[in-house]
Amino acid sequence: MNIWEIISGILLLVTSILIILVVIMQESRQSGLSGVVTGSNDSYLGKNKGRTLDSKLATVTKVAATIFFIATIAVNLGKVFFK
């Protein structure tokens, strides 16, 4: 194993754990019957969704998934070009 495989393996491991933790921390998007009765879009949090913790966690999830995707492609291309 060369240094490239070790670094990329660690990056993949860290980003996968980060994605798992951030997804677990997010609230469920299923409102069930309470959303039908109360109208969940008319709340204060619905109007300011961009500023909530759940919105920030969704952004972190998107960034971590992008890093994971690019790192996975880089690992596979590295194996092809750096035999």
Mean pLDDT of 54-80: 89
Tens digit of each residue's pLDDT (9 = 90 or more) over 2-25: 787 788 889 999 999 999 999 999
The yes-or-no verdict on residue 40 having pLDDT over 60 is no
Residue 31 lies in a domain: no
Please tell me whether the overall predicted TM-score, pTM, comes out greater than 0.75 for this model. Answer: no
Residue 40 lies in a domain: no
Long-range contacts from 52-58, C-beta under 8 angstroms, 24+ separation: 54/26, 54/27, 57/22, 57/25, 57/26, 58/26
Residue 79 lies in a domain: yes
Residues near 60 by beta carbon (within 8 Å), at least 6 away in sequence: 18, 22
Residue 9 lies in a domain: yes
Domain that holds residue 80: 1-24+50-83
Residue 44 lies in a domain: no
Q: How many domains does the chain have?
A: 1
Residue 39 lies in a domain: no
